[in-house]
Amino acid sequence: MKWQKLGKIFTPTDYRFPNNCHEFAQSPQALVLDDRIRIYFSIREKDASGKYLSHIAFVDYDKTMQHVLKTSDHQVIPLGALGTFDEHGIFPINPVRDGNRILAYTTGWNRRVSVSVDTSIGLAISHDNGHSFQKLGNGPVMTASLREPFLVADAFVSIINNTYHMWYIYGSHWKKFDEHSQPDRVYKIAYAHSPDGINWQRDGVAIIPDRIDADECQALPTIFHRNNKFHMYFCYRHAFGFRHQSSHAYRIGYAWSDDMKHWHRDDDLAGIDISPDGWDAQMQCYPHVFEVEGTIYMLYNGNEFGRYGFGLAKLEDCDN
């Protein structure tokens, strides 16, 4: 694979967003509309306690991805009620066209006492081309289960032959790496399928082999089909030291599959890596691949998990 980097294309602080949201434009994900590309992302406000709340916002680009048409000035999806799974943030969402409606698989965040957070996957539906979404319920569609004890998140859904396929992550364990630090979380990519997008079958098995070690964290799978193969991009990092040490920070990984179930990891084929300097020199994370009129693009975040925005790359060559 060979990607041409088009640079950072969106800086959230250049715009005004509701809820006193300011920094971060994380996990950009595209919905291709007739006359525009709508890119959803998570932007943050600080609450009274000084902790962050992530909200969903969007920016519309023309179909060349060169010009911003507008940014959202409303609450795209409200956060959840007291004590619900998405009370303290939605990050990210995955927009999926399903007939006349747009589904959004959300990752809802709720704060805990011993560990900092837990997450679950929710579902919201739009009937106005993704301008706003209504939740299907106050609870999640996928949460912790016997073999996935916490941190179920990062859904990416494709509807193929009337079956809903989901790639997502689940938490496998929390581990203390340093006597002065709180335990850190470890999570892996898994697969689920569903006849209706609501009731999911899953077995809690990691489908992407680790490259770093058993404590490798894998996140945000995105899948596309090309040359009779399924291609998955995702990000991965060390479980500890990933915030401040570039060598331990997120990188973009790659795997391919013939059947969507068995995946062959080969990061050397990814065709995209950190830059020698600049906005994506310390880390690359949260990749999202989409297609516009035959061109395949990848959105992703760079340094500091997307605090200063997201960038774009274009697939030049797909010879795998």
Kindly write out the interface string for residues 201-240 of this chain, putting x where it contacts another protein by CB under 8 A and - elsewhere.
----------------------------------------
One-letter amino acid identity for 291? Answer: E
- Per-residue binder mask for another protein (CB under 8 A), 104-123, x = binder: ------xxxxxx--x-x--x
Q: Counting contacts by CB under 8 A, is residue 84 touching another protein?
A: yes
Whole-number Å distance between alpha carbons of 276 and 285: 16
Among 74, 127, 131, 147, binds another protein (CB under 8 A): 147
Dist. CA 228–CA 234, nearest whole Å: 20
CA distances from 42 to 72, 127, 153, 172, 228 (A): 12, 21, 14, 25, 33
Taking CB under 8 A as the criterion, the residue among 18, 149, 241, 278 binding another protein is: 149
Closest approach of another protein to the CB of residue 189, in Å: 17
Comparing C-alpha atoms, which of 76, 82, 189 is closest to residue 135?
A: 76
User: Between residues 82 and 319, which has the closer beta carbon with respect to another protein?
Assistant: 82
Partners of 319 in the β-ladder: none
Strands (E), 116-228: 117-126, 134-135, 150-160, 163-175, 184-194, 201-202, 217-226
As measured in angstroms, the least distance from the Cβ of 87 to another protein is 6
**What span, in angstroms and rounded, lies between the C-alpha atoms of 165 and 156?**
8
Cα dihedral angle (145, 148, 149, 153), rounded to 10 degrees? Answer: -100
Specify the residue, 199 or 295, whose C-beta has the smaller distance to another protein: 199
Q: Which of 137, 163, 243, 245 binds another protein (CB under 8 A)?
A: 137
DSSP character for 131? S
273: helix, strand or coil: coil
Please identify, using beta-carbon distances, which residue of 18 and 139 lies nearer to another protein: 139
Nearer of residues 150 and 167 to another protein, judged by Cβ: 150
φ, ψ dihedrals at 25, nearest 5°: -140, 85
Structure-block tokens of residue 19: 């809820």
Q: What is the C-alpha separation between 81 and 85, in angstroms, rounded?
A: 9
Residues that bind another protein (rule: CB under 8 A) add up to a total of 36
Question: What is the closest distance, in whole angstroms, from the C-beta atom of residue 183 to another protein in the complex?
Answer: 6
DSSP β-bridge partners for residue 297: 290, 314
Site string for another protein, 87-106 (x = CB under 8 A): xx------------------
Backbone angle region of 161, left / alpha / beta, with phi > 0 → left and psi within -120 to 50 → alpha:
left
Q: Which segment (130-138, 273-281, 282-290, 295-303) binds another protein by CB under 8 A?
A: 130-138
For another protein, the binding residues in 251-270 under the rule CB under 8 A are: none
Q: Which is nearer to another protein, 64 or 138 (CB)?
A: 138
Residues 166-205 that bind another protein (CB under 8 A): 171, 174, 183, 185, 198
Closest CA to 77 of 37, 135, 25, 155: 135
Quote the least distance from Cβ 120 to another protein, whole Å: 7
Rounded to the nearest whole angstrom, what is the least distance from the CB of residue 4 to another protein in the complex? 41
Residues 22-81 that bind another protein (CB under 8 A): 80-81
Binding site for another protein (CB under 8 A): 80-85, 87-88, 110-115, 118, 120, 123, 136-141, 143-150, 171, 174, 183, 185, 198
